[in-house]
Structure 1
Amino acid sequence: MALNKGIIFLLLFLGSICYGQNTAKKVALTKVIVSIEKQFNVKFSYAVEDVAAITIEKPNAAFTLQQTIDYLNSKTLLNFKALDNRYVTVSVINKTISVCGIVLSDENKTPLIGASVLVNGIEKSTLTDKNGQFTFENIPLNFIISISYLGFESKQIAVYELFSAQNNCNEIILTTKNEELNQVLINIYLTPGLQKYLDGSTVLNTKKFGILPGLIEPDILQSIQVLPGVESNNESIANINVRGGTNDQNLVLWDNIKMYHSGHFFGLISAYNPNLTNKVIVSKNGTSAEYSDGVSSTINMQTKDNVTNVFSGGAGINLISSDAFLEIPITKKLEFHISGRRSITDLYQSPTYTNYFERSFQDSEINTNNDQKDTSSDFYFYDYTAKLLYDINENHQFRATIIGINNALDYSELHTINSNETESKISNLSQKNIGYGGNWKGQWTPKLSTNLITYFSKYNIDATDYRIETDQLLTEANEVLETGIKFNSNYKPNDNLNLLAGYQFNETGMLNQTTVNNPKYTSTKKDVLLNHALFSEVEYHKKNTYLRLGLRLNYFQKFEKLIVEPRINIRQKISNQFALKLEGEYKNQSTTQIIDFEDDFLGVEKRRWVLVTDKDIPIATSKQGSFGVEFNQNKLNIEATGFYKIVDGITASNQGFYNSFQYANANGSYNAKGLEFLANKTDYKYSFWLSYTFSTNQYEFDSFTPSTFPNNVDIRHSVSLGFYYNLFKNLKIAVGGIWRNGQPYTKPVEGNETVQNGNSTMVNYGIPNKENLDDFMRLDASLNYSFNLSPNIKAVFTAGVINATNHENSINQYYKVNPNDSNKTIQVDNKSLGLTPNISFRVNF
């Protein structure tokens, strides 16, 4: 009881503030009460601790008693009530009030639209509207409201500080983060939660994420495909093509841990749980010198990094999986975050699962039709993350992270030999990626900071395939082990300039193994590569100019080879509406994937990681430049960017050819050039976008004839159209469509479809990639409805549908020799997802 009175005393002491315009001197409320008692010959009844520390401006001496009481009620968080002409009672009002505020920037006091406002303790949250305003009803007096906005210092404010009897909204000023030179350029980019930085990178903030067509959650690798120049030619997140590159040319980082696996369901669902993800930064060009080893793009995922001392969490379920996460404060300086997700497909096989299964396994022996076989399969996946956050003191922080990803498939087959005898076979496939990371941040002086990063990443894919017909057991394994350490130092002499210097060391080992029992055969190959790198860059931002210049030196100890990589990133604003953008970079990559369409891992996963040898598999290098024009006015953003990229050191074995070069060993290059266009009109309630990408992408292999031909992902024209609308406060919809040219493929020579090669008969392919599949078209839609189950629990229901028109799209076409007629071929068509609905339900507290 004493504690409650103490809290009330403190709240009233801090909270009884007058918000009027009168500047009269405040006096103790006890003195005002004594004066009123004498003036009107009344007696006030109150607890001394409720009023002892409150100050107030004296009421007008001409007021009547009732006017005086009304005045006291309007200026304090107390309840004054006249029982009769003699007695007035004083009590603490209801401990919940309604509050409102207007969030403004410290520069020109412009409204901050879409700022995140959270009531700590009950997890009630909202976003500021087009005027920067927010409101809450029935909020406890002793709670704290947290306000955050990317590029600004977060602010915490007590609920009682927002009390205003005149129902006026209080102005809340957020201060620009001086240490962040690379500030936010566009706050709402296509949809809330997507933002654009000055350096051209795109940031996905999963906490503030709105909704995108077809998605039921902010799937990280699905969401970034809405960006111009980012495609998936087979609609798989395991095959994201950025400006014509292959998926293995994307550097994927999770809390600075390099990841070698990205998808569940063998590519249809992102393997990264978004619930503890704070932001995802996607860079297509002009990357910081801090990063390398991805010649196409960098996808940098970062989890929540602040100790909030607030217990919170959530859980959700959809037609594929269920998940949960918790943020657990341990002490004021120590916090623990954990999340987990698992498929429910082994418990309930929904129509969504059926579509995903058929799409994933359509081109594998899992889905092979054979009347003599009775088959069944058991597939599941899971992932988990955990993070320990420790603030050692005001200037030093330690963070430790773990992430685990797993896909598992068991496939059983009952083979009928005769009417009385059967044989069974069980095969399995396991695909895992686990990573550990830690970093120590130190702020040594106001100008000097350091960050020491360490990580370990392990990727395994293992398959056991027992073949009844030949009594043959085939086992395959691909393993990657990588250890890394990086040290960054930042020196900031002033608010406009930042200097970065650092060192990075990586040790990467890879194993590829194949074993056959009948006839006995074993192949094991191990490789290890050490890489040292020094990097430095200068970043400058003042008024209309942003500049980042960097240099990275990479030394490969095994090959005694030095690769120099310059980087440039410039943005110059030439008027209030127009800006010019110039980006360029050299990058390298020492890991790649080779593709075996014949028999890798049950035919489900056809890619395996290998290390470069600097001979038959050279270090891949890229050179890229881009120039763009930006227009931004009245929340209309228009961008046009021309780019040119050449990647040298690719191999025929990692391109996945279905042509006469399918089994060839050769090194070559590809060059991609084109134009990206985006028009995006946003408001607090809606966003409309239209993007178009034109590009040409050509291979060049000197040892091939012809030496130049279209790339497998040569998509000349691609158009994306989308619309997001906030119908009501809690109801959002998104509708969008994709149209693009079909990808290239190769036909056999007409009239001479097969050719004899020794004892083997092979498809006799014609001119490589001369033909194109039919155009790809898809319409997606999503609906999101949020509501409160209680003051402390928020619920969200989301429904989405992929390919709402059930349009049949061909995503690949190739040919096999007809087993019944060796002079003929069989055409194999891989299809995209048909109409695929999904729903999810989430609760957060």
Structure 2
Amino acid sequence: MVLNKWLISLLLCIGSICYGQNTTKKTPLSEVIVSLEKQFNIKFSYAVEDVATIKIDKPNATFTLQETIDYLNSKTLLNFKALDDRYVTVSVLNKTISVCGIVLSDEKKSRLVGASVLVNNIGRSTITDKNGTFSLQNIPINATLTISYLGFESRQFSANELFSAQNNCKDIVLSTKNEELNQVLINVYLTPGLQKYLDGSTVLNTKKFGILPGLIEPDILQSIQALPGVESTNESIANINVRGGTNDQNLVLWDNIKMYHSGHFFGLISAYNPNLTNKVIVGKNGTSAEYSDGVSSTINMQTKDLISNIFSGGAGINLISTDAFLEIPLTKKLELHISGRRSITDLFKSPTYTKYFDRSFQDTEINADSDQNNTTSDFYFYDYTAKLLFDLNEKHQFRANIIGINNALDYSEIGLSSSNETQSKTSTLSQKNMGYGGNWKAQWNSKLSSNFITYFSKYNIDAADYRVETDQLLTEANEVLETGAKLNTHYKTNDNLNFLFGYQFNETGMLNQTTVSAPFYSSTIKDVLLNHALFSEVEYNKKNTYLRVGLRLNYFQKFEKLLVEPRINIRQKLSDQFALKLEGEFKNQSTTQIVDFEDDFLGVEKRRWVLVNDKDIPIATSKQGSFGVEFNNDKLNIEATGFYKIVDGITASNQGFYNSFQYTTANGSYTAKGLEFLANKTALHYSIWISYTFSTNNYEFDTFTPSTFPNNVDIRHSLSIGFYYNIFKNLKIAIGGIYRNGQPYTKPIGGNETEQNGNNTLVNYDSPNSENLDDFMRLDASINYNFNLLKSIKASVNAGVINATNQNNVINRYYKVNPNNPNDAVQVDNKSLGLTPNVSFRVNF
């Protein structure tokens, strides 16, 4: 303890010294001259313009007059000469001088190649070389230079400030340009790397990410589940429920490309490699009018967008996969960023893999522990990304992106055919999402800028299921093709007011196909939908007021239908500690997922994408409002937000009913309302938080009896607690727990569990969602250690455990007819992950 106090005192002492050294301010020479005239009772004779831009450290008060003159001569390009005891003349030694500098970025202090250096008013300019260095000769001593680089704040210097008699070029650090009117409100939100913006959105900066319980990498789709109002009722990132919505109601963007697939291992691992993902913005309400098509939330992932001209990269391995990424400078203005990840599960069956496999494939045809030992399965996944960055000049940027995600499963079965012969047949399942995108950013002048975005997204899931006992081959396919283009134009009238005008076009095509070999059956459904949108908004931020008001007009060409979507986002600061928050939005969605428990993909993937037809599958629309109070003082942040949300246009087929409504065609709505609470205290070495959500979420289907009943994801109470602590400089731990109500389910009628429907025997269900599973509880923990492997290579070891107490959680329950007794219904429970450890090792250079 004494040693710790001594170290802290030493660090504070050193910090104070450093602070004192860095805060020494230079004084304008004109002020120094006035002071010296009073001190020595003399007069200086000089031209005002010769000294107007010069700043120096004040001479020592103990200097004599001659020592003072010598000091001034050594610190300036002026000639100070005493004519007598009363008068001192000041003249310019050189009318022109040489200047030089080294331009650096503020984050990594990396050298910025191609930065613009402009000598104001005389038309002289240059750019920095491959070392970030520039030099200019014969520059007027009273000239002003402007140094600028796209994506950074410009800075101005006098020529005299950049002059060095010893040719030691000055370091010029440019700060990353803040997003327009979107300053960070809370810099550390739960853990380092998580931030909160003024508009209420949550931002994950993967490069600065600390640690969260159970995680070994900055996975946004896992991280956001620590926020109030965000759940995953079946513990899957492929099924994130934001304020009571289904997963397909989340708009997922990767570098402006709309993605239709989010998870490896059928939802247990994020499909997006975080190592090149620079920032992720998550919005639950009050989103910009620029975005639509996600009635529950917007998850916007952005990769690194600046050219650093530094070769860097990293690689890592854990008990599930290995990955690598590189940032490769090609020229001063051209750079390539690439990443790749692949599972190692087909080479090494770790305990983590076994836990994930059992969780993913329980109650399916794929059974790794078959009692008859007549099945084998092979599962693997991979993903890759590439981004080409090209800066034409200071005002124009071009970017091109590609992302690929793939899951593959081979399932072999040995059995007796209809002719009693032993046969071995292989079934396959392939799930892919490819995306291509490009954008052109242009800064036309200091007030006007634009961003033109295009993208193409392709999602495929294909399955071939061979059933040996019936000699039947079932093939299924679901395909999505989407092309989009968007033009955003920003006009900034001043530092406080910004206008956005834009247009967006989308063409979405979908295919669903099923074929059966014996007896032969084939079904193919194709559909295409065109959507045009105009949007505009104004954003204002000054002192204590933040305001964003927008309007989006959506026109569906096929249905000749116009939807008007207003948006509002207001934050008013009442004092240094208290603020009020008001958010509201209308949104629509033209794509949805239907859930089919009979005609699924090998029993593993039950969801497939379909387009709305404005009839039995209408356009889903949402109306949401929320009001909150925020308290922020001495790094203690407390938030309480009430919300009310109505989503209309849902169908029975996209809700995943495990009851009598499972095969019913009907349209309805759900209403979610509740209160979210978060308290978070941060300090230099720790962060502790508690989040709680109370909500009610009810369906309304007019054609059902009863017409109103609890939603499948109606979680009334949800509590999350977490603690992050930086033990030493390089050692961090995080511990956290989740407690929530079990989700609703429907049980059969006691004593009359099945019923006859023609030749079929079905489960005779009771009132829908009238029962709840046992409460869900889980404790997670993580530890992180960073160290220098070599001088230029940093390494880290991460370990995490999910469900450290091995809690036996049931996350879903349904019933099926007992094949041995058609009068009974068999209860089927799906379990959550048991105790699941994982370890990773990473290097970065």
CA contact (8 A) 2:414 2:468 kept: no
Partner of 2:204: 204
Specify whether residues 287 and 60 from structure 1 end up closer, same or farther in structure 2 by C-alpha distance, changes over 3 A only: closer
CA contact (8 A) 1:372 1:415 kept: no
Aligned-pair CA distance for 1:219: 1.2
Tell me the distance in 2 between the aligned counterparts of 1:477 and 1:243: 31
Partner of 1:589: 589
Instruction: Give secondary structure in 2 for the equivalent of 1:617.
Output: coil
Matches within 5 A, 1:489-500: 489-500=489-500
Tell me the distance in 1 between the aligned counterparts of 2:816 and 2:802: 31
Tell me the distance in 1 between the aligned counterparts of 2:295 and 2:443: 32
Matches within 5 A, 1:354-753: 354-367=354-367, 371-372=371-372, 374-416=374-416, 421-753=421-753
Instruction: Give secondary structure in 2 for the equivalent of 1:293.
Output: coil
What amino acid sits opposite 2:620 in the alignment?
A
Aligned-pair CA distance for 1:414: 1.1
Aligned-pair CA distance for 1:684: 2.1
What amino acid sits opposite 1:807 in the alignment?
Q
What amino acid sits opposite 1:550 in the alignment?
G
Tell me the distance in 2 between the aligned counterparts of 1:676 and 1:583: 14
Aligned-pair CA distance for 1:683: 1.3
CA contact (8 A) 1:352 1:838 kept: yes
Aligned-pair CA distance for 1:424: 0.9
2:256 counterpart of 1:266? no
Matches within 5 A, 1:82-481: 117-118=107-108, 120=110, 153=153, 177=177, 180-367=180-367, 371-372=371-372, 374-416=374-416, 421-481=421-481
Instruction: Give secondary structure in 2 for the equivalent of 1:623.
Output: strand
Tell me the distance in 1 between the aligned counterparts of 2:342 and 2:22: 54
Aligned-pair CA distance for 1:60: 13
What amino acid sits opposite 2:407 in the alignment?
N
Specify whether residues 724 and 569 from structure 1 end up closer, same or farther in structure 2 by C-alpha distance, changes over 3 A only: same
Specify whether residues 408 and 179 from structure 1 end up closer, same or farther in structure 2 by C-alpha distance, changes over 3 A only: closer
CA contact (8 A) 1:700 1:709 kept: yes
CA contact (8 A) 1:439 1:454 kept: yes
Tell me the distance in 1 between the aligned counterparts of 2:437 and 2:724: 37
Aligned-pair CA distance for 1:803: 0.3
Query: Number of aligned pairs?
Result: 716
Partner of 2:9: none
Aligned-pair CA distance for 1:19: 10
Q: What CA deviation, in whole Å up to 9, does each residue of 1:160-183 have, x standing for no partner? A: x9xxxxxxxx99998694762011
CA contact (8 A) 1:373 1:415 kept: no
Specify whether residues 216 and 256 from structure 1 end up closer, same or farther in structure 2 by C-alpha distance, changes over 3 A only: same
Specify whether residues 748 and 443 from structure 1 end up closer, same or farther in structure 2 by C-alpha distance, changes over 3 A only: same
Aligned-pair CA distance for 1:599: 3.5
What amino acid sits opposite 2:797 in the alignment?
F
Partner of 1:797: 797
Aligned-pair CA distance for 1:799: 0.3
Tell me the distance in 2 between the aligned counterparts of 1:22 and 1:490: 39
What amino acid sits opposite 2:295 in the alignment?
V
What amino acid sits opposite 2:282 in the alignment?
V
Specify whether residues 635 and 828 from structure 1 end up closer, same or farther in structure 2 by C-alpha distance, changes over 3 A only: same
CA contact (8 A) 2:383 2:404 kept: yes
2:831 counterpart of 1:831? yes
Tell me the distance in 2 between the aligned counterparts of 1:462 and 1:178: 44
CA contact (8 A) 1:372 1:416 kept: no
Q: Which runs of 5+ in 1 are unaligned?
A: 1-16, 26-54, 63-74, 76-102, 104-114, 122-141, 145-150, 162-169
Q: What CA deviation, in whole Å up to 9, does each residue of 1:266-293 have, x standing for no partner? A: 0000000000001000000001000000
Tell me the distance in 1 between the aligned counterparts of 2:226 and 2:172: 34
> Identity rate of aligned residues, in percent?
81
Instruction: Give secondary structure in 1 for the equivalent of 2:218.
Output: coil
Specify whether residues 424 and 581 from structure 1 end up closer, same or farther in structure 2 by C-alpha distance, changes over 3 A only: same
Aligned-pair CA distance for 1:815: 0.3
CA contact (8 A) 2:418 2:471 kept: no
CA contact (8 A) 2:26 2:57 kept: no
CA contact (8 A) 1:179 1:495 kept: no
Instruction: Give secondary structure in 1 for the equivalent of 2:653.
Output: helix
CA contact (8 A) 1:373 1:414 kept: no
Tell me the distance in 2 between the aligned counterparts of 1:322 and 1:526: 38
Tell me the distance in 1 between the aligned counterparts of 2:402 and 2:344: 23
Aligned-pair CA distance for 1:363: 2.5
TM-score (norm 2): 0.81
TM-score (norm 1): 0.81
CA contact (8 A) 2:418 2:470 kept: no
Specify whether residues 345 and 21 from structure 1 end up closer, same or farther in structure 2 by C-alpha distance, changes over 3 A only: closer
CA contact (8 A) 1:644 1:671 kept: yes
Tell me the distance in 2 between the aligned counterparts of 1:375 and 1:116: 57
Tell me the distance in 2 between the aligned counterparts of 1:823 and 1:273: 50
Tell me the distance in 1 between the aligned counterparts of 2:363 and 2:666: 26
Tell me the distance in 2 between the aligned counterparts of 1:688 and 1:178: 28
Partner of 2:144: none
CA contact (8 A) 2:640 2:675 kept: yes
What amino acid sits opposite 2:820 in the alignment?
N
Aligned-pair CA distance for 1:420: 9.5
Tell me the distance in 2 between the aligned counterparts of 1:618 and 1:262: 24
CA contact (8 A) 2:368 2:375 kept: no
CA contact (8 A) 2:482 2:507 kept: yes
Partner of 1:90: none
Instruction: Give secondary structure in 2 for the equivalent of 1:215.
Output: coil
Specify whether residues 315 and 517 from structure 1 end up closer, same or farther in structure 2 by C-alpha distance, changes over 3 A only: same
What amino acid sits opposite 2:503 in the alignment?
Y
Specify whether residues 820 and 156 from structure 1 end up closer, same or farther in structure 2 by C-alpha distance, changes over 3 A only: farther
Instruction: Give secondary structure in 1 for the equivalent of 2:266.
Output: coil
CA contact (8 A) 2:368 2:377 kept: no
CA contact (8 A) 2:580 2:628 kept: yes
